[in-house]
A and B are shown apart, each in its own frame.
Chain A
Amino acid sequence: MSASMTRATETTRRLRQASGATALRLRFLGVVLFLVLLGVVFTALSPRFLTIDNGRSILFSAAILAIAAAGQTLVVLTGNLDLSVGSIMGLSAYVIYDLAGDVPALGPWVVLLAVLVGAFLGLVNGLLVAVLGIPSIVATLGTLAIYRGFVSVYAEAREVTVGQLPSWIRSLATAVWGSVPAAVWLSVLVVILVGVVLQFTPWGRRVYAYGSNPEAARYFGLDSRTIVTGAYVGAGVIAALAGLLLGAQVGNINSLLANGIELQVLAAVVVGGVSIWGGSGSVFGAAIGAIVLATINNGLVLLSINEYYRLLFQGLAIVLAVGVDAIVQNRVRTATRRRRILEVGA
């Protein structure tokens, strides 16, 4: 490979510039551009859109979504899906806050507890998908029902009330640090952390390697099971933490917390340019995807358009984004093939 690289002629270099990498970069820029476009349209339609208060409220509503999307990104990068994200959020929030109400001594250890619960639920998903080889959609559709069913059995139609929540997490959820809500800072932290893990750790690079070509990764000696299971465990942990934060924001938690949020999370990830085929996209894109969705929601509210249109737009956004990804992927593929042919020729 490296020998042929040095022999790369002027033509192949030019081809490479106009090829896969560019297409992927354009995909990311496309999301940013789309966000700007949305901003321009909403600003033109509503004078209240472009205010600092409104910007803060968009970021606040995007924060939890961005955290959950960061976890989902791990799984989607391996070419799988996690539909149980909403159920993991609901389960961990309900069970842990219920416990915290009974055992006040738990204090900040609830966070560790959430990590453990999330890791376990993610591990179950990971084992079903990576070891038993059940297609991820079906496996996580099953665990979506199982986890949610477990909460409702556990809850017995009761509710965890605001008073049961530890007061520090309650104030954290509503705190404002430097005129930006604390939840936004936390989501930035999570997104950067996941980004660093994916970019700079060996495991993170393996996730991309496996996701972009599982077959090649296998020949290279990568163990798909640790990669995929690890991604699900990471997603579970992040979902559980997102659940804690969401629960703290909501206050009164019933067994249906975060029910159906998976559609929004997936929409954020896919709109943000993480390819549903796996192996390409970044967690920062997913975060911008979350902001795009939050902006759409915000704009629809400002224009007092019925909430029902939100579902329609989210659905269409998923289909559209996947369509664009298909075009990008085809470009990358043909470019790679063309380059390979040229390099052989040279």
Chain B
Amino acid sequence: MRQFVRRNSGELLLVGLIVLAAVWSSSLSPYFLDPVNLLSSATSFVIFALMAFGLYPVVVQGEIDISLPSTLAVGSVLLGKASVAGVPLALALPLVLAVCAGLGALNGYLVAAVGLPSLAVTLGTLGAYRGVAYIIAGDAGVVGITPEYTALGSTWIGIVPVSIVLVLAVAAGFALLMSATSFGRYSFAIGNNAAASRMGAVPVVRTRVVAYSLAGAMSGLAGLVWVAQYQSARGDNADGAILFVLTAVVLGGVSIKGGSGRVAGVLLSLILLATLQTGMQLANVPGTSQTLVIGCLLVVSLGVPRAIALFRGRRRTLAPVRTDPPHGPDDPTPAVLEKQRG
């Protein structure tokens, strides 16, 4: 029992917080705990959840991708255009997912093979992909999307919306991927020590490109959910969503420096954020003020553990704190290593 608690302390803390948030929300409205209401309000977080699961392996590998909402926008406007043009979903979806995976792969290639810092690359593609989405969608965006494409947003299995089932399936898939496949093992190894992994014959470049492609594909899937839920697609879809997505991943206990983190934590933190946000909506907190709370959560979830560690460390030794640069001086980029080898 004690061991179980120690091993899952992060997840248990999240469960406790979820209970607190749920109690608070249900004190605001008696309808909050109604299962139908609960499930239908959960559907508005499906889009974020899919991107968060996509981002999770990337963060485990010690990298970051802030361009995912822009990839979603490209995916959603492509699906919208395909729908209006009368292309069957069975044909359009694989193509759009492939395009989004390709956008992710481009990020991954620039980061892993060329050796550019992931933050700068995805900051650039955040703008570039958003521009592409605007160019495809035009000023008016895409409207008049056919029912075939929006079915995902309006189909229920019993009282459970299909999109919730989709999220749970994706979560299970990622749990399996990260714990039972070589990709998952490699991801943790790279996140812990990329240089050592490289020497240990881990295909670092390939694993990273795969993670980024997967994140892109998940954003494309989130684009489908977007089209299904909002029956429209515009260039500015999901603009600024990265804050919520990144908060979900980090709050879920995935170390931003890589090497650790579990799907269960990400799922729980998504539930916590969803409960909080639904509560704030019930309390009539305006949307922009909700970002204040999410931002605080992001900073606090990262800052408090470090502050505690700092305080404990201070008492023992007076060692100065190090802030690690994106690339340490002794951590040459892959391009440099290639040159040395060649």
List residues of chain A with CB under 8 Å of any chain B CB: 79-81, 128-135, 137-139, 141-146, 148-150, 152-153, 157, 213-216, 218, 223-225, 228, 255, 263, 266-267, 270, 276-278, 306, 308-319, 322-323, 326, 329-330, 333-334
Contacts and interface: CB of A to CB of B under 8 A. Distances in A.
B250 interface: yes
A146 to B, nearest CB: 4
B13 to A, nearest CB: 19
B243 interface: yes
Nearest to A81: B119
A225 B339 contact: no
Nearest to B321: A133
A145 B321 contact: no
B295 A146 contact: yes
Nearest to B305: A132
A312 B243 contact: no
A323 B114 contact: yes
Contacts of A146: 292, 295-296, 299
A315 B292 CA distance: 27
Contact of A318 (B64, B120, B286, B321): B120
Interface in B272-328: 286, 288-296, 298-299, 302-303, 306-307, 310, 320-328
A255 B286 CA distance: 13
B128 A319 contact: yes
**4 nearest interchain CB pairs?**
A149-B292, A315-B128, A145-B295, A312-B131
B131 A142 contact: no
Contacts of A315: 124-131
Given A149-B293, A213-B329, A311-B134, A319 B124 contact: yes
B298 A128 contact: no
Interface residues of B, number: 63
6 contacts: A129-B323, A142-B299, A312-B131, A312-B135, A322-B121, A333-B332
Contacts of B326: 79, 276-277
Contacts of B116: 319, 322-323, 326
Contacts of B257: 135
A149 B114 contact: no
Contacts of B339: 330, 334
Contacts of A143: 295, 299
Given A311-B127, A311-B134, A319-B125, A141 B310 contact: no
Contacts of B128: 311-312, 314-316, 319
Contacts of A310: 131
